[in-house]
């Protein structure tokens, strides 16, 4: 299978155009003697809905207006304009920074112009960036704001990284023990070519990923192995979505505990916090490969591998049983009830107990038998 994934860059020109139109609209308001304003979608919990048909969390239709001539909003409105102007300059200069870098630029420039130090806390600027993302229908990555990067990939795929004045080709099958570090932004200036793999295996823990990498698992199986290294970053979730778009099945291999389930459902359905970009980072096609409590019936040694579930695990299992998009799956109900009843859990690391290479055998068996939870 050879798939060429298009570079889904919203070109800098397109981003600058949206920022320009955003500003032009504000200027129009001022010229016609109205309060400058723009519209955004409500991002609070009350407007986060589960899209049953498509299987992910997204924002509903509630809109709210941000307007300048309003005591409660004037300050924030002005800050949002400053953020838009800064991002415009970043995109035009083709330079990136973190939201912390943006915060300090604002702290300096606003502080100088108008005495009062408008951005004392970064917590003030973060929701305004989200306002802009929603209002412009862009991701912050398109605005040249990097999010935290995390996660690694190995497998038969090449990455074309247009970086500075070079166009580098990185072969993810030749990165040795380290793998390819997944960047903050996998859309702009990054292309994935020659994806030769049958499926994608997402492995919660880096240590377990390293074990599989050392065994050459991805080579033997012709798979792509990804570790989010715990909770998946925006970049890693977006990459998983893109690989699913390329037609690859996505199997997620996590601990059987509160944290492992949470990581899985975040990859699959997205999260409340990022519901505003649910469409581009959720992967409803993902399947849960394991570890499951039901595995104990198949692998006798796992009986000895259980460890005590703590209150968080049990509480989380109870909560999950209450979600309609989870409790409609019988297998998940069985699974979660086992944790609640036995008050025990399993870690993926325990699959190394009989022999270090058993992890790979376990995954192979599951994939062969299509033995997944939905």
Q: Kindly determine how many residues on this chain lie close enough to bind a second copy according to the rule CB under 8 A.
A: 57
Residues 26 and 81: beta-carbon distance below 8 Å: yes
Residues 261 and 371: beta-carbon distance below 8 Å: no
Identify the active-site residue in 20, 104, 251, 276.
104
Stretch that binds a second copy, among 27-35, 65-73, 174-182, 337-345 (CB under 8 A): 174-182
Letters for 201-220 (x = contact with a second copy by CB under 8 A, - = none) are -----xx--xx--xxx----
Stretch that binds a second copy, among 11-19, 55-63, 93-101, 329-337 (CB under 8 A): 93-101
Place of tokens 């299987």: 55
Torsion sign, CA atoms 59, 135, 282, 314:
negative
115: left (phi over 0), alpha (psi -120 to 50) or beta: left
230: nearest Cα among 251, 244, 209, 199: 209
Give yes or no for residue 100 binding a second copy (CB under 8 A): yes
Site for a second copy in 299-328 (CB under 8 A): 301, 304-305
- 106's enclosing H/E stretch is helix 99-114
Give yes or no for residue 127 binding a second copy (CB under 8 A): no
String of b and e for 131-168 (b: at least 16 CB within 10 Å)? bbbbbbebbbbbbbbbbeebbbbbbbbbbbeeeeeeee
Residues 225 and 212: beta-carbon distance below 8 Å: yes
Give yes or no for residue 39 binding a second copy (CB under 8 A): no
Residue of the chain from 38, 180, 264, 332 that contacts a second copy (CB under 8 A): 180
Give yes or no for residue 336 binding a second copy (CB under 8 A): no
Active site residue 20: no
For residues 99 and 87, what is the distance between their CA atoms, to the nearest angstrom?
A: 10
Stretch that binds a second copy, among 16-24, 33-41, 346-354, 364-372 (CB under 8 A): 346-354
For residues 41 and 233, what is the distance between their CA atoms, to the nearest angstrom?
A: 23
Stretch that binds a second copy, among 29-37, 141-149, 195-203, 288-296 (CB under 8 A): 141-149
Closest CB to a second copy among residues 155, 249: 155
For residues 122 and 355, what is the distance between their CA atoms, to the nearest angstrom?
A: 48
Give yes or no for residue 344 binding a second copy (CB under 8 A): no
Binding site for a second copy (CB under 8 A): 90, 93, 95-98, 100-101, 103-105, 107-109, 111-112, 117, 146, 148-149, 152, 159, 161, 163-164, 166, 168, 170, 174-184, 206-207, 210-211, 214-216, 301, 304-305, 347, 349-350, 352-354, 356-357
Catalytic residues: 104
């Amino acid at each position: 299978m050879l798939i060429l994934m298009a570079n889904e860059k919203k070109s800098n020109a397109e981003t600058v155009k949206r920022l320009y139109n955003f500003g032009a609209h504000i200027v129009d308001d001022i010229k016609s003697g109205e309060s400058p304003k723009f519209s955004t979608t409500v991002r609070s919990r009350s407007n986060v809905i589960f899209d049953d048909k498509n299987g992910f969390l997204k924002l509903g239709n509630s809109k709210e207006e941000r307007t300048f001539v309003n005591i409660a909003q004037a300050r924030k409105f002005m800050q949002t304009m400053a953020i838009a102007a800064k991002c415009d300059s970043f995109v035009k200069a083709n330079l990136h920074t973190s939201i912390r870098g943006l915060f300090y630029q604002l702290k300096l420039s606003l502080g100088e112009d108008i005495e009062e130090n408008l951005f004392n806390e970064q917590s003030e600027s973060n929701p305004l960036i989200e306002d802009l993302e929603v209002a412009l229908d862009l991701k912050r990555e398109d605005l040249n704001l990097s999010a935290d990067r995390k996660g690694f990939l190995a497998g038969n795929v090449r990455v074309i990284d247009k970086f500075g004045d070079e166009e580098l080709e990185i072969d993810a099958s030749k990165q040795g023990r380290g793998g390819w570090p997944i960047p903050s932004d996998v859309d702009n200036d990054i292309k994935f070519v020659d994806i030769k793999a049958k499926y994608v295996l997402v492995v919660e823990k880096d240590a377990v990923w390293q074990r599989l990498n050392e065994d050459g698992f991805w080579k033997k199986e012709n798979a792509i192995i990804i570790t989010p290294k715990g909770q998946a970053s925006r970049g890693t979730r977006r990459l998983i979505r893109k690989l699913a778009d390329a037609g690859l099945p996505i199997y997620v291999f996590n601990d059987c505990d509160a944290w492992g389930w949470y990581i899985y459902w975040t990859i699959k359905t997205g999260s409340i916090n990022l519901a505003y970009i649910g469409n581009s980072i959720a992967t409803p096609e993902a399947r849960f490969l394991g570890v499951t409590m039901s595995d104990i019936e198949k692998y006798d040694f796992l009986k000895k591998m259980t460890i005590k579930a703590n209150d968080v695990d049990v509480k989380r299992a109870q909560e999950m049983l209450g979600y309609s998009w989870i409790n409609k799956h019988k297998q998940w109900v069985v699974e979660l009830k086992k944790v609640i009843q036995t008050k025990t859990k399993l870690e993926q690391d325990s699959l190394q107990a009989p022999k270090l290479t058993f992890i790979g055998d376990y995954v192979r068996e599951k994939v062969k038998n299509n033995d997944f939870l939905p």
